[in-house]
Amino acid sequence: MCVRCGMHYRHAIYFTTMSKEKYYCYRSIGVLFRERVSQFGDRTAIKYHEGDINCWKDMSWNSLKNNVDMVSSGLLTLGAKEHEFIGIYAANYHYWHMVDIASFGFRGVTIPVFATSSSAQIKYIVDETELKYLFVGDQEQYDNVLSFYKGSSIEKIIVFDERTDLKDCDIAIYFKDLLLLGDENIDDNLSLIDTYLDRASVDDIVTIIYTSGTTGEQKGVILKNSNFMFALYTHDRRIDVTPNDSSLAFLPMSHVYERSWSYYIMHSGAVNNFMISPRDVLDGMRIVKPTMMCTVPRFYEKVYDGIWEKVSGWSSIKQSIVKWAVVVGKRYAYRKKEGKKLFWLLQIKNLIANILVFNKIKKIFGGRLHMSACGGAALSPRIVEFFHAMGIFVNHGYGLTETTATVTCYKDLNYEYDSVGEHLDDVEVLINEDNEILVKGDLLFHGYYKKQKETDAVFDGGWFRTGDAGIFTDRGNLRITDRIKDIIKTSGGKYVAPQKLEGIFIQSKYIEQIAVIGNKRKYISALIVPAFEKIKEFAVENGIIYNSIKELVSNELINKLISVDIDKMSIDLAPFEHIGRFTLLDREFSIDSGELTATLKIRRKAINTIYKDQIDSMY
């Protein structure tokens, strides 16, 4: 029986989770996909663009299946075997999703690689997994592979973007050529695909996701069908997604977060819209008008700042109306989340607030967004509350690649804005004596690929050691305090949580990014990437002349401006948490330079190495 719809399916399987008997509808994601094709047929399954953000195309479930079958057939014709490893090194082309689903046609294992990965990083993954078939996105990724493919295990490179120059490489073809090859051999391969799908098992490995987290060490996280089946089951009991919903996939499909969310969207029969470049996300939202999506905190931080920056330029009357609407919206959202009665007068005021203010602001997101999963880093409670006041349920959660994404998230009631919600059903969460968060359940990964020592190191009696520190609130919600390894101990013996400080100071309109420093040092310091447009405006207003950004960030008035802002926000901090000195940088931290993870978390080890001279100069 399906936990979602109550129907029985011929592919239903049965097994036990956490000593509680549960039904799961499918043995694999591939079987789930075919059931949804049968269920929804000519309804739209996905939408995509091919470079022009203003031109989106629809693809039905039936059409998607035909394309998926051609990809499976093409790979089988090339020589792919049962359980073959298939690499995808590309941005969020809709082809990414096709290839991923197609791999189930021969019980394959998808090896995703972040589109921003260097040639050395992709080479490491190819060598360790002995990949034979690798899909790449565009010229940059293709050239990176060309730099090392000779002498490697790679037998075929398949390129999504037809504008890519293949440079006469004899093992490279375009994706369209793979489709043609698959179509030509489809009659011979369909029965084989069906045979493989019938043999599919919950114990089949679905993917090996390489994650370096914040440490820089690449480890392949093994996830099976059972992991994703469990994730679908638990999410059904926490959130409500219907076939009438539409999601925008703009975070990397190579990350477990967007990938597992996309499986859930498919499971729910909703439409998934694939965004190639995350830089175009707001333009894409205005066009496709999603009802939900998964995001990271930085998205809402930038939108929040943008909204209030725009409001600050309005007349005092308009500003008063906005502030009144926010007060009403917060009161409405608070009573709703607490399960308290919504008095008729409050409902009327909230309706007026929506008409006058919130509906106009929500047009930024296309006008239909009502729920957004959000994770990957800390998010200010003030920002969460603001979007809830608008009627957008920002569902802040916590999870890791090793936990198939979500461990905790908000329920409809009883959540707290400064937490990441409660653990999902049939998931156990424990805080040990070192304040480390431990997790147990069928969401846990099945080890790091070819790294038994590293696997053993993160398990303790069946509990997965997350490496994150946290506490439970009185209501049972989880609150993340920091990464265990990131906790700073000053030379004076004081412990400082850098993420806490970064979460405070990032709220300054003059600060774009910040990395707090101070381990084994006598005081706390910081590397700060200023909001360049803001300090440029300040420079113009104050007659500051400069010839470069480097010269601007060195200006005494600019440094004083940010110093005053930092002091204002440090009022409630302990003396040892105050920033003693800071250095303004002339460029942003980036994924490409190795300073940020794919979910925009700071890689502190890399930061400390890259900026060693600047850090030393502050002490």
Give the lowest-confidence range in 47-61, 105-119, 477-491, 539-553. Answer: 477-491
- Tell whether the model's pLDDT for residue 311 goes beyond 80: yes
Q: What is the pLDDT of residues 507-519, one digit of tens each?
A: 899 999 999 999 8
pTM confidence score: 0.86
- Inform me whether the pLDDT recorded for 13 exceeds 50: no
Residue 22 has pLDDT above 80, yes or no: no
- Domains of the chain, CATH where assigned: 41-200+239-288 (3.40.50.12780), 299-442+471-480 (no CATH), 487-616 (3.30.300.30)
- Cβ pair 179, 71 in contact under 8 A: yes
Compute the distance between CA of residue 45 and CA of residue 65 in angstroms, rounded to an integer: 10
CA distance 14 to 20: 11
Band (8; pLDDT cuts 50, 70, 90): very low
Tell me whether strands 579-584 and 524-530 are parallel, antiparallel or unpaired.
parallel
| Residue keyed to tokens 């051609």 | 70
Taking the CB of residue 131, how many other CB atoms lie within 10 A of it?
A: 22
Per-residue pLDDT at 216: 57
What does the alpha-carbon distance between residue 94 and residue 6 come to, in Å, rounded to a whole number?
A: 31
Q: What is the pLDDT of residues 177-212, one digit of tens each?
A: 999 999 999 999 999 999 999 999 999 999 999 986
**What is the average pLDDT across 73-99?**
97
Longest CA–CA separation in the chain, Å: 74
Backbone angles phi, psi at 444, to 5 degrees: -75, 145
DSSP states of 465-480: EEEEEEEE-TTS-EEE
For 280-300, letters b (16+ CB in 10 Å) and e give ebbebbebbbbbbbbbbbbbb
pLDDT over 70 (residue 47): yes
pLDDT(21) > 50: no
pLDDT tens per residue, range 561-609: 999 999 999 998 888 999 999 999 999 998 888 888 877 788 888 899 9
pLDDT of residue 526: 95
The pLDDT value recorded for residue 437 is 95
In the predicted structure, residue 348 carries a pLDDT above the cut 50 = yes
Q: What is the pLDDT of residue 295?
A: 94
Q: Mean pLDDT across the stretch 361-379?
A: 93
Q: Model confidence over 448-494: pLDDT tens digits?
A: 999 999 999 999 999 999 999 999 999 999 999 888 888 888 888 88
Instruction: Give the separation between CA 469 and CA 486, rounded to whole angstroms.
Output: 10
State phi, psi for 105 to the nearest 5 degrees: -65, -15
pLDDT value for 210: 94
> Taking a C-beta distance cutoff of 8 angstroms, is the pair 87, 129 a contact?
yes
Residue 300 has pLDDT above 90, yes or no: yes
d(CA 448, CA 215): 15
Residues 6+ apart with CB under 8 A from 277: 91
Distance CA 489, CA 590 (A): 26
Rg (the chain; Cα; Å)? 25
